[in-house]
Chain A
Amino acid sequence: MSGDRITKGLLFLSSLTILLLSAGIVVSLLGGALPAFREFGLRFIISPAWNPTAGSEEYGAMSFIAGTVITSILALIICIPMAFSTSLFIAEYFRGTRTSGILRSLVDLLAGIPSIVYGFWGFYALRPLLVATGLTDQGFGVFTASLVLAIMIVPYATSLSAEIISMVPAELKEAAYSLGATRREVIFSVVIPSARSGIIASFILALGRALGETMAVTMLIGNANVIPKGLFAPGNTMASVIANQFGEASGLKMSALIAVGLLLFLITALVNYLGKLIIKRFA
């Protein structure tokens, strides 16, 4: 019995640590962000101004919120067809075959590539390609960043979706086949509906990752602290501006950066919460 109690105590302690850690992060973010909010009030959230020059300092997070939301949503839109079809391919159409095995390991391989490497690839390989299409002058901007982000989050969405799809009970599918359904019909009327909430959850997790991605985005988005004027215009994201500027920041600017961090934290939390709501509704 005492073994049980020890286990219980240990588990309790480790969950408590997580709780304390999250609370600590929130408290320190709030504390650090306070001067910025005291100075600018709610205007901090809606203002796109970012002027660090001493004397006329003014900070607002809107440019970065816009950059983060636009790149992440765009990445998600690009990612959905790729990840969705790949996961169906792996987990349903070619289930158990060698092709699917190879594909699955390749997808996992993509997930293991560090962000900075994606950044390099985007900078030296993808960007010149985009410039060659004539759509953009220099290739830096929201679209390039979103494209690389999409490729970065595909493996997450794919692996998770594939896992969920392969968990659909065989009896369900067999029943549909016995009623004369084709493979396509089985997939669209049995597999997808029963795996729906899990698939949605996997895309929300992928979105969460896109929101916080830093290095690859910083290398490609152009780091202009303005609301992007178009798909091919430069912008900046919340994570990227923090990574770029905190090294030399102090005083009010440091507080503004921490406040951006707090907002990013809140947005991520909100996305996760929305995800849970959606899962609940469909499940």
Chain B
Amino acid sequence: MKNSIIILMAVLALAASSCGGSGSTTGRQKEVTLSAAGATFPQPFYNLAFKKYNEAGGPLISYGGIGSGGGIKSLRDQIVDFAATDAYLSDEELAEMPGEVVHIPTCIGAVVIAFNIPGVTELKLTPELLEGIFLGNIKMWNDAQILAVNPGLVIPDMEITVVYRSDGSGTTYIFSDYMTKVSSLWNEQLGTGKALNWPSGIGAKGNPGVAGTIKQSEGSIGYLGFEYAFAQQIPMARIMNSSGFFIEPTLDSFTAAAAAEIPSDTRVMITNSPNPSAYPITSFTWIIMYRELAYGRHSRDAAEAAVSTVKWLTGEEAQAIATSVHYAALPQNAALQAAELLKGITYEGQPVLK
């Protein structure tokens, strides 16, 4: 993953330097450079997708993984062509934007519960156990409540160390949104947010930091983006969903979570899905852009390139790239809705997509 980022940066640098010289005639239709910024959660997907799109003749896109909050700020200041966020904008945030903002879901990410218990590779957790462990009320791995859900499991007499994100993050937001839905105690004590007032445990920076800390610390448990746990081969717990099934985190069980009714602006959290085959801690991740793209000195070329990029991102080809880097593809209903929303994006009142 890191290598590909470095390579991408090198490619960007090369492309940028070569752009400066030529300018007039190149093989490509138009030399448009787009800038985008935001969430780090889907960054591995975006980096790869944008690179492939550029190789196939699309615009050059530089994506800054500065966090969802930074992305929203950048879009508000109109310094990016589009932004990316893991948490949809609240009504207040929408009201603060200088123009109407459209949310386009691009893929589904899941937050998994990864653990490091010597000799244990499979663990089943219920919402009650998650509440007890993450609020610090269940302190030992061989607690009777854990054993009751995992009969026959040989689990050592070891203290539980909770690992959480020390930085504000969409991952924390998704996990806490789920916990708030399933636990009233959680709702009272911590609530939902990108950063929380954790009662116990240790914080690590970024998904890679959490993955590394769990891997290095026996007796630890934490939440992190699926692709990071998958890449580091850290065991992940099966979580009991709203229908009472213990669901393994897989791309199919993530996509299943989004197969329900989605509001027309796609601003919805799909955690704790009612679908019996759905993994419960999942979320859309969105690209956000203005509905009317003629603002400031934003050119028509840039507007067209931005919309076609996002359209491509929600299409089949890019969705296949998403699954190759362990993000779940959009289900059909969400993909259709994304396409519908993109048709409504205009430049000087005229739809950008023909």
A interface residues with partner B (beta carbon < 8 Å): 49-56, 123-124, 127-128, 137-140, 218-219, 222-225, 234, 236, 243-245, 247-250, 253
Q: How long is the Cα–Cα vector from A152 to B4 in the complex, in angstroms? A: 32
Q: State whether A244 touches B205 (Cβ < 8 A).
A: yes
Residue of B nearest to A233 (CB): B202
Q: State whether B202 touches A234 (Cβ < 8 A).
A: yes
**Pick from A49, A55, A245: contact of B167, CB under 8 Å:** A245
Q: How long is the Cα–Cα vector from A218 to B213 in the complex, in angstroms? A: 12
Instruction: Indicate whether A218 sits within 8 Å of B205 (C-beta atoms), given known contacts A244-B166, A245-B167.
Output: yes
Q: Mark B180-204, 1 if CB is under 8 A from A, else 0.
A: 0000000000111111111011111
**Pick from A51, A223, A248: contact of B203, CB under 8 Å:** A223
Instruction: Indicate whether A218 sits within 8 Å of B69 (C-beta atoms), given known contacts A52-B196, A140-B202, A244-B205.
Output: no
Q: How long is the Cα–Cα vector from A105 to B315 in the complex, in angstroms? A: 58
Interface-facing stretch out of B25-33, B99-107, B216-224, B250-258: B216-224
Instruction: Indicate whether A51 sits within 8 Å of B161 (C-beta atoms), given known contacts A137-B219, A140-B202, A224-B203.
Output: no
- Counting chain B residues whose Cβ lies within 8 A of the other chain, the interface size class is 20 to 34
Residue of A nearest to B69 (CB): A248
Residue of B nearest to A56 (CB): B191
Q: State whether A247 touches B69 (Cβ < 8 A).
A: yes
Residue of B nearest to A140 (CB): B202
Q: State whether B193 touches A53 (Cβ < 8 A).
A: yes
A contacts with B: majority SS = loop
Q: State whether B191 touches A55 (Cβ < 8 A).
A: yes
Q: State whether B69 touches A250 (Cβ < 8 A).
A: yes
Q: How far is the CB of A211 from chain B (nearest CB, A)?
A: 19
B242 in the interface, Cβ–Cβ < 8 Å?
no
B95 in the interface, Cβ–Cβ < 8 Å?
no
Q: State whether A54 touches B193 (Cβ < 8 A).
A: yes
Q: Mark B149-192, 1 if CB is under 8 A from A, else 0.
A: 00000000001010000111100000000000000000000111
B44 in the interface, Cβ–Cβ < 8 Å?
no
Instruction: Indicate whether A250 sits within 8 Å of B166 (C-beta atoms), given known contacts A50-B197, A52-B197, A54-B191.
Output: no
Q: How long is the Cα–Cα vector from A245 to B195 in the complex, in angstroms? A: 8
**Pick from B66, B159, B196, B203: contact of A244, CB under 8 Å:** B203
Q: How long is the Cα–Cα vector from A224 to B205 in the complex, in angstroms? A: 12
**Pick from B68, B192, B204, B217: contact of A223, CB under 8 Å:** B204
Q: State whether A248 touches B67 (Cβ < 8 A).
A: yes
Q: State whether A52 touches B202 (Cβ < 8 A).
A: no
Q: Which residues of B contact A55 (CB under 8 A)?
A: 191
Q: How long is the Cα–Cα vector from A248 to B193 in the complex, in angstroms? A: 11
Q: How far is the CB of B88 from chain A (nearest CB, A)?
A: 14
Residue of B nearest to A218 (CB): B205
**Pick from B67, B73, B168: contact of A52, CB under 8 Å:** B168
Q: Which residues of B contact A50 (CB under 8 A)?
A: 197
B331 in the interface, Cβ–Cβ < 8 Å?
no
Instruction: Indicate whether A245 sits within 8 Å of B168 (C-beta atoms), given known contacts A53-B190, A54-B191, A137-B161.
Output: yes
Q: State whether B204 touches A53 (Cβ < 8 A).
A: no
Q: How far is the CB of B208 from chain A (nearest CB, A)?
A: 11
